[in-house]
Amino acid sequence: MTRPPTFEELFRDCQRTAVHLEMRDAYMKSDPAFIDWQAGVVLDPAERWADWHAIVTEATSRGVEVRRARVVSTPVSEYIRFEYDVTDGLNIAAGEEVRWLSRRNATDIALPGNDFWLFDSRLVLVNHFDGEGENMEVELTEDAEVAKLCESAFEAVWKRARPHAQFELA
């Protein structure tokens, strides 16, 4: 059995685009960074997640367009406040474009049942989480229909979503 590629390998092999659609209001609340943030610890995202920052920075420096769209309930959860707070120093600093969409504005968009990454419009990494937002497993597929669905959903969200700096957490 071959092991699935790492994020580093997926980004290294990516040539044009890497898009990520997030649709949960909480992820891995057991994450030590989230726990520190809750306790008021000031985080340097680029330092805390140095490996992730390096992977994305390398990809964007090669011209890979990295976009992340987040569909969130409003008012936002405490975890989404945490994500919002670290986005500038992590995602945007690494070269990602990030947009946010209130779930109430996504009702008429057909969305896949799971969060995903789509690499070069053909390779889909599906993220499976448990009910508490803890990561369970990932699934990798090159099924053209799945890739088409994911790309269509992402682009529909992206079109309506607000850039990070313009999104209000209210």
CA 135 from chain centre, in angstroms, equals 13
Question: Tens digits of per-residue pLDDT, 74-108?
Answer: 999 999 999 999 999 999 999 999 999 999 999 99
Q: Which two tokens stand for residue 146?
A: 């799945």
Q: What is the pTM for the complete model shown?
A: 0.95
Question: Tens digits of per-residue pLDDT, 95-144?
Answer: 999 999 999 999 999 999 999 999 999 999 999 988 888 788 889 999 99
pLDDT at 2 over 90: no
Which candidate, 170, 167, 119, 142, places its Cα nearest to that of 11? 119
Task: Place 1 in a pLDDT band, splitting at 50, 70 and 90.
Answer: low
- The rounded distance, in Å, linking the Cα atoms of 45 and 87 is 8
CB atoms closer than 10 angstroms to residue 159: 11
Task: Place 55 in a pLDDT band, splitting at 50, 70 and 90.
Answer: very high
DSSP state of 92: I
Contacts of 42 (CB under 8 A, 6+ apart): none
SS3 103: helix
Q: Report whether 66 contacts 96 (CB < 8 A).
A: yes
